[in-house]
Amino acid sequence: MEQKNKKELEKILIADDEIIYRNILAQALFENYEIEFASNADEEIEKSKQNKYLLILTDNQMNDGYGNSGLYAIEQIRKHDKNTPIYLHSGGLTNKIKTKALSLGANDVFKKIDSFMKLDKILTELKGGEK
């Protein structure tokens, strides 16, 4: 696939307090997407108000000092953006978290360990089958 001009790349927002994890995901995606980061829920919410994203990937447990999580971010983002796909990933995923995230408006929920495989599938679907 031909690499696009940076201005033409679609944006993905990755919200996760673990810088190593953000960087690993960015390395996998940087050639075809412009990647933006948020290290906490409040930053994620603010960026979602200022930018248009192809998708938002949020961690459930971000240590932002206020107790806000990916669930909180989903709830707040859905107040102003009903359309951007939001995916919650978590290292400690439970059925309770999954049910809550989906009820708040997440498009899907998965374990962090499955993120690369899931993101590849999601992005292929969002691009209409293109890789």
- Tens of pLDDT, residue by residue over 73-105, are 999 999 999 999 999 988 888 899 999 999 999
pLDDT at residue 131 in the model: 54
pLDDT at residue 42 in the model: 93
1 located within any domain: no
pLDDT tens digits, residue range 12-68? Answer: 999 998 888 888 888 888 778 999 999 999 999 999 999 999 999 999 888 766 666
* Domain range for 101: 6-126
How many C-beta neighbours within 10 Å does residue 39 have? 18
pLDDT tens digits, residue range 116-125? Answer: 778 888 888 8
Q: Structurally, how many domains does the chain consist of? A: 1
Q: Is the pLDDT of residue 3 over 60?
A: no
Helices 41-50 and 70-80 pack at an angle, to 10 degrees, of 20
Residue of 88, 99, 95, 92 whose CA lies nearest to 122: 88
94 located within any domain: yes
Q: Where are the alpha helices (DSSP H) in 1-131?
A: 19-29, 41-50, 70-80, 95-104, 115-126
20 located within any domain: yes
Q: Quote the CA–CA distance of 45 and 74 in Å, as a whole number.
A: 8
Q: Name the more confident of 127 and 41.
A: 41
Q: Name the more confident of 75 and 128.
A: 75
131 located within any domain: no
Q: Quote the CA–CA distance of 57 and 83 in Å, as a whole number.
A: 14
CATH number of the domain that residue 35 is part of = 3.40.50.2300
